[in-house]
Chain A
Amino acid sequence: MEVLISRYHPDKDDEPYMQTFEVDGSQLHSDAMLLELILHLREIDPTLGVRYSCQEGVCGSDALNVNGKNLLSCTTPLKSLKEPIEIRPLPGFPIIKDLIVDLELFYQQYKSVEPFLQSEPLDPQQEHLQTPKQREQLDGKYECILCACCSASCPSFWWNPDLFAGPAALLAAQRFTIDSRDITTIDRLHKLDSPTKTFRCRHIQNCTASCPKGLNPSQAIQSLKNRIVKGH
């Protein structure tokens, strides 16, 4: 099979270029994921740079842009990909080496929304009670693995990664505004009421389409905006 990979070694290359590999598919398992192919290529060329770790889609290390779509290489079946397979780093971020990008701005945005529970202090003999219904509100919000597939597919984030929080950060922001244990909702919504940080989202929904965990950041942002506009 034909595989094209974006290569860039800062010590030798002026800019990224595509390198073509011819791979003997019979060397791989019939139900191989894309990561298996990439690791096979790394055996042929150990200088190929790529992040990966858990190999089961929970650590969020191996987000890539493949045939134009952002995805996790360890949960994408090879068979689902049309040939030639074109593998690029996540768009919108500075490239460090080959498929490895610098996610610093992505992490900064996440940190900027105060993504931590702020609850009523309670002595350690007690639990904050939460009904199954209240807890259900968090489903689809807390499972984010910070892979950046969403933010790297969002045009608003590409243009203003320093100003617009981006879908992953806003999903986290939303999660804490609806956690029944959090006591800072009003303050949170107030801080999110910003034309750049939150309202730069144009509801293009690329983010939701690209989330490998099936989460819906677009809807979360919509609901955040509604609450801000309605004055909470």
Chain B
Amino acid sequence: MSESLLEYDFDVIIIGAGGAGLRAALLLTEQGHKVAVVSKVFPTRSHTVAAQGGINAALANVTPDKWEWHMYDTIKGSDYLGDQDAIEFMCSEAAEIVRELEHFGVPFSRLNNGKIYQRAFGGQSQNYGESQAHRTCAAADRTGHAILHSLYQQNLRSGTHFFDEHYAIDLLKSGEQVCGAVVMNLHDSQLKRLNAKHTLLATGGAGQVFRTNTNAAINSGDGLGMVARAGFTLQDMEFWQFHPTGVAGKGMLISEAVRGEGGILRNSNGEAFMERYAPRVKDLASRDVVARAISIEVTEGRGCGPNKDYVLLDISHLDGDLVRQRLPGIRDISMTFLGKDPIEEPIPVFPTCHYMMGGIPTNLQAQVVTPDHNSEQAVVDGLYAIGECACVSVHGANRLGGNSLLDIVVFGRKAAQSIDAELKANTRRKISEADNLEVILARFHRWQLAQTTDDSIARIKKDLQTVMEQGCGVFRDLDSMQTALDKLLPIEERLMEVGLNDHSDVFNLDRLAALELENLLIVAFATVQSALARQESRGAHSRVDFPERDDSDWLKHTLYSHRLRRLSYKKVNLTPQHHAPFEPKKRVY
């Protein structure tokens, strides 16, 4: 049994082996620190592997480009909620970080001159909004796979220590400092106490909170749950990206690369309807704009199929060889899951939950911040967060395609640099003795003891996902969100009462699902409460009852404390360090 706690000491533990965690691990191991990476799945099974389209950097290999233009596009795409200092930093690091990935072995597609291939993606422009930019560096349509595997491979080279198939349960704390985590080996439920000078969260997204999504089963927001239970806040949780082109009725992603290569969305009249919503850039408008357009087409009766509940993504006019070469993965998905070869037949698509813009608030050094009585941004000693679980915030209210893969490696490296500098400057830092172990073990033991009941974890999870989809989807209003909140309370009660069917210690998936569901529920509460309060429409948060953006009242980040079930707010950074600020303007594409 898991009673005896094994104990280990590390300079740094990294929870998560996706692109973010692995980029950080590589630098820290190379610098000679004692590092451990914890992942609930074997590293190459992390969901970064599913990213398709590419990673943005102003390499200017195809069209003239400057990182300042990328910065502008990202700020505009974020509907001005992104922090301009963070966006400036990310975009200015992009070119170097992508070349570095190439040096690590990423098999990028190539141009005739031997340089990295770059494709067009939504929301990307040359010269501050003029013409379409080709900025998204791609390895065919398997860019995430290529990046994740290459980073894992380089970590093998550097000798990083992994705890594979280990599940992080909660953060160890000593007062308000974080000093490691309690993790469980899934193979035998053995609990391990990983004491660390620095703890880095890289646990990825939480798309499982919605019924139809492009996320993996493992994307359950565990890092957010851990942070919330530790008493820290979550930021901007009302902002969820619904990707316009999920496979209708199923959810898996059809990358924006399809439209980047020339694909066109059509309604039941065969009309290329994006011309009406974004006359200039049409199908390559920002994702929130395209997702709303599709929803409107369907609600107004111009959907396709027997139930008129989707639109079509058409690439039949593109050259077949180009599709085979540039979009092989997409063609594969379409043929496998729909039995349709997109070279001949259009793909039925509908918006699907894809990406969490919000997350664990951090500063530019990737240190987790939380409000206290002195400041709205007090640093949590010993805790860092990067990647999709973090909110620094570079995506604001709406993320541009190709910017998340960039975010995870830029801030993965940055976090590692800050931790490395801290370890070198402060060689006498000791690991603190945790004082919250009892609480952590008590929560875990409750699930060990939970007797079988009629209700089940699987049923509660399905109900949660349905509530969220109905209440907080592409379009929301007071009624839909209040209903969702009212329904979350009984779901919370059911989760307190429910028992488990599996009582073994070997790969107990029932217990694992229970722990994950506790995290998803926190994510759900954070989402609904933050969304209910925000009385405007901005980026992916589209309220029917408040259709306009309202900068005078709402140009601010939401902070949600789960412990207090209370919201507070913090300023958006509008003062980049080098470039002149970009004043909020009306967003048209």
Contacts and interface: CB of A to CB of B under 8 A. Distances in A.
A in complex with B: yes
Contacts of B154: 116-117
Contact of B149 (A61, A107, A118, A142): A142
B107 interface: yes
Interface stretch (A15-23, A49-57, A158-166, A215-223): A49-57
A46 B506 contact: no
Interface residues of B, number: 59
Contact of A55 (B49, B105, B115, B252): B252
Nearest to A137: B107
B333 A56 contact: yes
B103 A128 contact: yes
Nearest to B140: A139
A97 B507 contact: yes
Interface string A1-37: 0000000011100000000000000000001010000
A132 interface: yes
Contacts of A53: 41, 45, 47, 216-218
Contact of B111 (A49, A114, A128, A132): A132
B379 to A, nearest CB: 29
A54 B47 contact: yes
Interface stretch (B75-83, B120-128, B497-505): B497-505
A138 B107 contact: yes
B235 interface: no
Given A11-B505, A146-B44, A52 B500 contact: no
Contact of B49 (A46, A51, A58, A126): A58
A56 B50 contact: yes
Contacts, number: 149
B157 A116 contact: yes
A43 B99 CA distance: 46
Contact of A128 (B102, B337, B456): B102
Nearest to B164: A107
B5 interface: no
A42 interface: yes
A52 to B, nearest CB: 6
Contacts of A60: 44-45
B110 A131 contact: yes
A25 to B, nearest CB: 19
Given A46-B501, A46-B502, A138-B107, A54 B50 contact: yes
B429 interface: no
A145 B457 CA distance: 30
Given A46-B458, A124-B96, A130-B114, A56 B252 contact: yes
A132 B112 contact: yes
Contacts of A187: none
Contacts of A115: 153, 156
Interface in A46-93: 46-47, 49-61, 75
A119 interface: yes
Given A117-B150, A126-B99, A127-B99, A59 B49 contact: yes
A181 B507 contact: no
B360 to A, nearest CB: 22
A118 B187 CA distance: 34
Given A115-B153, A127-B99, A132-B112, A97 B506 contact: yes
Contacts of A179: 105, 107
Nearest to A182: B105
B457 A46 contact: yes
B145 interface: yes
Contacts of B109: 132, 135
A120 B546 CA distance: 57
Nearest to B51: A58
A125 B145 contact: no
A125 B100 CA distance: 9
16 contacts: A11-B504, A45-B501, A55-B252, A57-B336, A59-B47, A61-B45, A96-B187, A117-B103, A124-B96, A125-B96, A127-B115, A128-B102, A130-B114, A131-B112, A135-B110, A145-B44
Interface of B: 41-42, 44-47, 49-50, 96, 99-100, 102-105, 107-116, 142, 145-146, 149-150, 153-154, 156-157, 187, 216-218, 252, 329, 332-333, 336-337, 339, 456-459, 500-502, 504-507, 509-510, 513
Interface of A: 9-11, 31, 33, 42-43, 45-47, 49-61, 75, 96-97, 100, 103, 107, 111, 114-119, 121-122, 124-132, 134-135, 138, 142-143, 145-146, 179, 181
Given A75-B336, A119-B103, A125-B96, 9 more contacts: A43-B458, A46-B513, A47-B504, A49-B509, A54-B216, A54-B217, A58-B142, A117-B105, A117-B153
Q: Which 7 A-B pairs rank lowest in CB-CB distance, beginning with the nearest?
A: A117-B105, A129-B114, A116-B153, A59-B45, A46-B501, A47-B502, A46-B510
